[in-house]
A = this chain, B = another copy of it.
Amino acid sequence: MTEPRYDVIAIGNAVVDVIASCAEELIDELQLNRGGMTLIDEARADELYEAMPPAREVSGGSAANTLAGLSTLGLQCAFIGQVADDQLGKVFAHDMRATGIDFDTPVREGEPATGRVLIFVTPDGERTMNTFLGAGQFLPAVALDEDLIASAAILYLEGYLWDPEEPRSAMRRAIDVARQAGRKVAFTASESFVIERHGDDFRDLIERGLIDILFVNESELATLTGESDFQTGFDAVAAKVPVLVATRSERGAVAQANGERATVSAEPIDQVIDTTGAGDQFAAGFLSGYAKGAALEECLKRGAIAAAEVIVHYGPRPEADMKALMAARL
């Protein structure tokens, strides 16, 4: 097994977030799935955009956000994801590269456009996401640079991308490549609704020992296990994955790694502005510790610090000097 060239390579949605703050009533009026992520087609995307308040555009995508956090924390990262040959595709690619991430998946010509997520942020800071996957749903397995995947210590995958068929096949192939190269596979379950659609697949991956590091939140854990008691569900999954990280919003997070267990409280913050990216940045913070062999407790603390930074401003990626922030808070 050769020395890895990258700390983390991720496969994920390549989307631009379109973020607007909105009144509580608009969520009902537009019949949105409050707090969740709903897949929408282009017609619905146009309809919702029409009804959306003035917005800001920032690059997003769950795994891409996590990589942005990791890169900001000094890790070597590469990304695989599908954009179209359009302005939003250029924005996404620019922001990845400007963050120091290698991103060389060939652009896809023609329709559909680069994916976008219409995010309605209510006054409590909760985000309601409506995703038009666009070009991202056609990420083909052939777009995988297998040498690249084999050259990263950790392969990171997002559950959100399990919906469309081509990327799902690509991710399955990527898991094989990573495991054959002796690398770790990290997976974020993304959302309860995703697990409702693909729980059998996810449970199968876990049972077959194909996932080394699993990120879930409380409701995802419940959906995955069918167990309403957090502790029982956690124990059940922890028995099957080497590293399990479960985030619990303002109640902090719990992790178990190779039998050892640790918890962390949420970092104190003044006011939640936009929760978009909270889970993504928790994962980034955690992995930034894990990758360098930090103690489990420090990994969790890093996750909590990174998550606290991203929810006090709009947008899913860090804006602060994260290295300095970690140094100050750890």
Contacts and interface: CB of A to CB of B under 8 A. Distances in A.
A56 B54 contact: no
A222 interface: no
A113 to B, nearest CB: 7
Contacts of A57: 56-58, 91
A126 B30 CA distance: 39
A242 B81 CA distance: 58
Interface stretch (A7-15, A93-101, A200-208, A251-259): A93-101
A88 interface: yes
A315 interface: yes
Interface string A34-65: 00000000000000011011111111000000
B86 A49 contact: no
B58 A95 contact: no
A317 interface: yes
Given A57-B57, A57-B58, A58-B57, A52 B98 contact: yes
Given A86-B87, A87-B86, A113-B87, A54 B49 contact: no
A103 to B, nearest CB: 12
Interface string A309-330: 0000001010100000000000
Interface string A63-86: 000001000000000000000001
Contacts of A94: 49-50, 52, 54-55
Contacts of A49: 94
A43 to B, nearest CB: 15
Given A87-B88, A88-B87, A98 B315 contact: no
Given A87-B86, A87-B87, A98 B68 contact: no
Nearest to A46: B90
Interface in A260-296: none
Interface string A137-170: 0000000000000000000000000000000000
Nearest to A68: B54
Contacts of A55: 91, 94-95, 98
Sorted from nearest, which 4 A-B pairs have the closest CB atoms?
A: A57-B57, A87-B87, A54-B95, A54-B98
Given A56-B58, A57-B91, 16 more contacts: A49-B94, A50-B94, A52-B94, A52-B98, A53-B98, A54-B59, A54-B68, A54-B95, A54-B98, A55-B94, A55-B98, A56-B57, A56-B315, A86-B86, A87-B87, A87-B88
13 contacts: A20-B98, A21-B319, A52-B94, A54-B59, A54-B94, A54-B98, A55-B94, A55-B98, A56-B56, A56-B58, A57-B57, A86-B86, A86-B87
